[in-house]
Amino acid sequence: MSTLLSVNNLNIEAHTRTGVVQVVKDLSFSIRKGETLGVVGESGCGKTVTALSIMKLLPKETLKISSGNIIFNNKAINNLSDRELENIRGNEISMIFQEPMTSLNPLFTVGEQVAEVVRRHKKVSKERAWNRAIELLDLVKITNPEKKALDYPFQLSGGQRQRVMIAVALACEPKILIADEPTTALDVTIQAEILALINRLKDETGTAVMFITHDMAVVAQMADRVIVLYPGEKVEEGTVHEIFNNPKHEYTKSLLAAVPKLGEMVRRKYPEPMRLIGKGDTRIVKPIIGTDEPILSVKKLVTRYSIRGGLFQRIKAKVHAVEDISFTIMKGKTLSLVGESGCGKSTVGRSLIRLVEPASGEVYLDGQNILDLTVKDVRDARSKIQMVFQDPFASLNPQRPLFDQVAEPLRNYGIFRLEELQKRIGDLFDRVKLPRSFMKRYPHQLSGGQRQRIAIARALALNPKVIIADEPVSALDVSVQAQVLNLMMELQVDLGLSFLFISHDMAVVERVSHDVGVMYLGRLVEIGPRQAIFRNPHHPYTKDLLKAVPIADPSKRNTEREMNFKPLPSPIHDLTHDPKPSEYKKVAKDHYVLTTDCGY
């Protein structure tokens, strides 16, 4: 096959206030006609910068190509003027971006935005362009395209917007489609649909795809050939099978080892830490058994948010965020709640420590009903149950040194003596494996993984019995994610902690949990031991969810035919709506499936 695009000895420099940093070093690769080239690497490895440099979309002041050339269709395009490049952009090479929420202009209809690119590159009438736009929206499987073309981006879901972006990108039948993390911001079922769509369109149109991602599982699903980047350099290149079955470079090996693969825990009853490569990881990996003694039990929990409106801000409707949920967490074990965005899993976590007030239900912690307590007593109860949040950048105060941030819960609960604080916090820093010298630092001086360790240290400060971890590793790179997960599992063994682990990532959940609950539209549709849920799912939603998860194995690929997910119905109901109680069928020991209609 002939080469369509080749990048030769590309060097890119970032000009910052503190000096010049080389972000891409001597990078060469090529894309052939009709193939998908996967570009993988962790954040900061220069993959997005490389993609932007091909179309000369780098911010002019800060990022500069210092040497190298980019050849497209036997023509060097890195020296072209903006005017000449404009004819290539969107026409012969087009791009889709990570954030479907912000990549479309909010003030123009989606039809206009698709038609615009057609009008720009093909000399056609307004009407022809509009018809072509509708054709394209139909091609990317937007139902009822004539009507949807008149909608504004805010009226579409994230998945639909990404479809529109793909329609824009494919409008002029480009020779190369550059997809920069196109599914990272999407739910797993929508991700599966979009990936299948890109694959189908690639086959139909013969467009070559440069697919950039940090997610090894997605690469396995999409790529024909893969290049692996590690801070700005290409460390390995090969076919997708070579990379996954026979990686050569140490970094590729460690990257693959750090990815939890769905299905790899099927035969193991108890979760166990991941075996990581490199950094002298010689620990003996032992399963985490836990106990059968209940520590936290939740009965018939209901949480609703009010929607107010009108002249007097009366309650007009309610969001049924959590609808009649019951579960029990055992001492030393992990229960995971999985589900897609908007299913109410985070609200469950928040309801348990009354960050939001549940409408009804009971939450027993150590035999005490937290929902019955007065505001003052809840404060005491919260010392036994702590939270770790998703975003380690936003959940630490940027203005205070880390010592104070970890010390704050201790001070809140009456420990003020400096020597005692210093001893306790020193121990906590040791526990989460951060050097004690970090105590004087500020959050901006830490990496994402280190910040999440601080958040864990802060949660541990009061010796809690239960930790609610709300997507604790979703914002982290895979290798860091693996380290943080291992840390959490070690702490579980050492301190006998129980976790309520809230996540959308099925593979991570399979790795860490003893029990799993699957949530859909506020209800728990299925709950049971992890092995049972993953090996023998009963509820149709659980089955679809598992089917949608990309597997980090290029021999197991999803096709579009298998995808048939239903869009999420609205959880907003008027005040007269009286939902049925959740009823379950027992299918095996501790394994229950919802029989009430949940809308799926």
Partner 1 sequence: MLTVLLVVIILNFLMLHLAPGDIADTIAATMGGADEKDMIQLRTEYGLDQPFFIQLFQYVIKVAMLDLGNSHFYNMPVFDLIMERLPATLLLVFSAQIVSLSLGILLGVYAAQNPNGLSSLFVNMLSLFGYAAPVFWTGILLLIAFSLYIPIFPVAGMRDVTIESDNFFVHAFDVARHLFLPMITLASIFLAYYSRLCRASMLEVLGADFVRTAKAKGLSQRDILMKHALKNSLSPVITFAGLSFSAVVSGAILVETVYSWPGLGTLAFNSIIARDTPVLLGILIFSTLMVTVGNLLTDMVLRSIDPRIQGSQ
The one among 90, 342, 554, 571 contacting partner 1 by CB under 8 A = 90
Q: Nearest distance from residue 114's CB to partner 1, in Å?
A: 10
The one among 48, 78, 103, 479 contacting partner 1 by CB under 8 A = 103
Q: Nearest distance from residue 168's CB to partner 1, in Å?
A: 7
From CA 572, how far away is CA 317, in angstroms rounded? Answer: 7
For β-strands 498-503 and 466-470, DSSP reports them as parallel
Site string for partner 1, 37-76 (x = CB under 8 A): ------------------x-x-------------------
94 interacts with partner 1 by CB under 8 A? yes
Contacting range for partner 1; rule: CB under 8 A; set: 181-189, 309-317, 473-481, 545-553? 309-317
DSSP assignment, residue 52? H
For 40, the token pair is 């993988």
Contact 127, 117 (CB under 8 A): no
86 interacts with partner 1 by CB under 8 A? yes
116 interacts with partner 1 by CB under 8 A? yes
Q: Nearest distance from residue 175's CB to partner 1, in Å?
A: 14
Contacting range for partner 1; rule: CB under 8 A; set: 98-106, 201-209, 272-280, 577-585? 98-106
Give strand pairing partners of 234: 229
Q: Nearest distance from residue 293's CB to partner 1, in Å?
A: 50
For 293, the token pair is 């003694």
Q: How many CB atoms lie within 10 A of CB 522?
A: 27
Contacting range for partner 1; rule: CB under 8 A; set: 100-108, 232-240, 434-442, 504-512? 100-108
Site string for partner 1, 407-436 (x = CB under 8 A): ------------------------------
107 interacts with partner 1 by CB under 8 A? yes
**Tokens 């991700």 belong to residue:** 191
Contact 266, 537 (CB under 8 A): no
Contacting range for partner 1; rule: CB under 8 A; set: 41-49, 117-125, 385-393, 533-541? 117-125
311 interacts with partner 1 by CB under 8 A? yes
Site string for partner 1, 446-465 (x = CB under 8 A): --------------------
81 interacts with partner 1 by CB under 8 A? no
Q: Nearest distance from residue 208's CB to partner 1, in Å?
A: 16
From CA 188, how far away is CA 327, in angstroms rounded? Answer: 24
The one among 10, 40, 65, 88 contacting partner 1 by CB under 8 A = 88
104 interacts with partner 1 by CB under 8 A? yes
At a CB cut-off of 8 Å and minimum separation 6, what does 340 contact?
A: 187, 188, 189, 504, 520, 545, 568
From CA 273, how far away is CA 261, in angstroms rounded? Answer: 13
CB of 111 or CB of 260, closer to partner 1: 111
From CA 13, how far away is CA 367, in angstroms rounded? Answer: 60
From CA 260, how far away is CA 185, in angstroms rounded? Answer: 19
From CA 543, how far away is CA 550, in angstroms rounded? Answer: 14
The one among 152, 305, 364, 600 contacting partner 1 by CB under 8 A = 152
117 interacts with partner 1 by CB under 8 A? yes
CB of 103 or CB of 498, closer to partner 1: 103
At a CB cut-off of 8 Å and minimum separation 6, what does 132 contact?
A: 114, 115, 118, 124, 171
Strands (E), 255-391: 294-309, 314-330, 334-338, 360-365, 368-369, 385-388
Contacting range for partner 1; rule: CB under 8 A; set: 93-101, 203-211, 230-238, 278-286? 93-101
Contact 320, 307 (CB under 8 A): no
Alpha helices in 211-264 (DSSP H): 216-222, 240-245, 250-258
Between vectors from CA 334 to CA 300 and to CA 341, what angle results, nearest 5°? 65
Contacts to partner 1 by CB under 8 A: 55, 57, 82-83, 85-91, 94-95, 97, 99, 102-108, 116-117, 120-121, 152, 154, 165, 168, 309-311
